[in-house]
Amino acid sequence: MLYFLTRFPAKILLGTYFRNIHLNLPYQLPKDQAIIFAANHPTGFLEPCIMACWLDQPLYFVVRGNLFSKKLVAFFLETYHMIPFFRMKDGGYTKIRNNFKSFDRAHHILASKKPVMILAEGLTIHEKRLRPLMKGTARMALGAMDDTDLTEVVIIPVGINFTDSNQVRTEAMISFGTPIYASHFQGAYAENANKGILELTREVRRRLEPEVLIIQNPERDQLAEFFFELYRNDHLLASWPVTTRDDHRLRRHQQIANWINNLSDTDLAELETEVQQYQKALKEQHVNDLGLATFGQSTPATGLLLALMVLPALLGWLLHWPLLAFARYMVKYQVKSLEFKGSIFYVIILGGYLVFMPILLIIAALKGYWYLPLFIPILGYFCVNFRDKLKRWQSGWRLRSMPEKVRSKLLAWRLELVHKLP
């Protein structure tokens, strides 16, 4: 029940947390089939939230068993279709034995043609790489056909990519890969279970890898992120509609990543030096790359329009300030893991809405003004979009006070860097 009640507000908030969500699903999902979505795992739980909100069918999720340690928490997690799987560090062999029940439950969910999402890496790491996949996806698919009347389980690889999941108003890129039919591996599984599971796991990785943004060497992360941002600043997207249905954004990021991955050490050193000098010059002038990219758009007329938007944006900020302040405090001082910061921030804001909005609606209805609380999310979204536009305008406006010779040099320098992009 809670799954369906909270799905709509969760989707609205995700469309506010992220500026753009790009979904690439180039085919119709198989109907009346057992489906496992096998995804990478870059954040705590933002990726399952996106999948649950944008896919039509209700999803079931495989999650860490240690989250179920308290009965009340376990009750709520189960209402959100979560299936616990335990690791050795969650309680040793005693807890591991519970996985037999979890596999059995997952098999019967699949047999009823309900989709299951599994985070195939088995752990969450905040990076643009694909780590070794666990065997759980293959074991679940082949085990379901072994234990039930299923003759097929379709595994769909899902690449989950974020520009920066810990920052609001960034981008998410979700790409669905070519489906894998587990029945093709049944022969190997019947001959030798471990062999069949290993072969299917390798195939899942082979199909998942093309859908994931990968920077092979962590030492090249910083340079890659610079050129990702350079590209995005040069190709700014409108904030509405939030969702696009193509993979262009992801493929361009992958082209840039492949270019960085294949640079020779000599070319890499030269490029890093040039980028560092460019960034140093920007810092000395107290400007940023976004300002150079949007310089022509930062006009007095745009500034006047933004001035007219200040009051409703300020009201939206004031209405949300207590909840935002609490969420930021919790994330800063209570959340130690980088991978969970964005997820926890999102859940706190969502939880605040789910708790307080019904109360405010009831109070307003008793006073005869039931519609007034509805302006809270509207003003909040207005404030978020105002913040985006103000940031762009300010970044470009700062360049107007700069000597024209210096500004022209920086613009030309930036253009040279843009031309280096593949």
Q: What is the pLDDT of residues 309-361, one digit of tens each?
A: 999 999 999 999 999 999 999 999 999 999 999 999 999 999 999 999 999 99
* Close Cβ partners of 79 (under 8 Å, ≥ 6 residues apart): 1, 2, 3
Rg value, the chain, Cα? 24
Contact 44, 344 (CB under 8 A): yes
**Residue 355 three-state SS:** helix
User: 154 - beta bridge partners?
Assistant: 35, 181
CA distances to 349, 360, 366, 377, 380 from 363, rounded to whole Å, are: 21, 5, 5, 17, 20
> Do 207 and 112 share a domain, yes or no?
yes
Residue 229 located in a structural domain: no
CATH code at 7? Answer: 3.40.1130.10
pLDDT at 67: 77
Give the mean model confidence (pLDDT) for residues 194-213: 98
Digit-coded pLDDT (tens) for 255-308: 999 999 999 999 999 999 999 999 999 999 999 999 999 998 999 999 999 999
| CB of 169 closer than 8 Å to CB of 19 | yes
d(CA 398, CA 196): 61
Banded pLDDT at 90 (limits 50, 70, 90): low
Q: What is the pTM of this model?
A: 0.95
233 in any annotated domain: no
> Does residue 185 share a domain with residue 312?
no
Best CA proximity match to 103, nearest among 138, 55, 66, 51 = 138
**Looking at the structure, do residues 15 and 146 belong to the same domain, yes or no?**
yes
53: nearest Cα among 27, 87, 18, 86: 18
| DSSP at 212 | S
- Using the predicted structure, report yes or no on whether residue 366 has a pLDDT greater than 90: yes
Do residues 96 and 211 both lie within one domain? yes
The dihedral of CA 301, 306, 310, 311: what is its sign?
positive
In this structure, the answer to whether residues 77 and 194 fall within a common structural domain is yes
Q: How far is CA 10 from CA 3, 5, 17, in A?
A: 10, 9, 10
Q: Are residues 11 and 103 in the same domain?
A: yes
Structure tokens of 350? 């969502």
Domain boundary among 198, 219, 240: 219
Is residue 247 in a domain?
Answer: no
DSSP single-letter state for residue 151:
S
Name the residue with tokens 């690889």: 157
User: Of 82, 150, 76, which Cα lies nearest the Cα of 116?
Assistant: 82
User: What are the two backbone dihedrals, phi and then psi, of residue 416, each rounded to the nearest 5 degrees?
Assistant: -60, -40
Q: Minimal CA–CA distance to 230: which of 403, 394, 413, 384?
A: 413
The predicted-structure confidence for 241-267, as pLDDT tens digits, reads as follows 999 999 999 999 999 999 999 999 999
Q: What's the token pair of residue 187?
A: 């022969």
* Domain extent at residue 311: 300-401
Given 189, 219, 249, which residue is the final one in a domain?
A: 219
* Cβ 319 vs Cβ 382: under 8 Å: no
291 within domain boundaries: no
Is 262 domain-assigned? no
**Is the CB of residue 323 less than 8 Å from the CB of residue 352?**
yes
> Distance of alpha carbon 5 from its chain centroid, rounded?
22
Q: By three-state DSSP, how is residue 263 classified?
A: coil
Contacts of residue 246, defined as CB under 8 A and 6 or more positions apart, other chains included, come to: 22, 24
- 195 within a domain of the structure (yes/no): yes
- Domains held by the chain: number: 2
User: Is it the case that residue 91 has pLDDT exceeding 80?
Assistant: no
Nearest-angstrom CA–CA distance, 61 and 73: 15
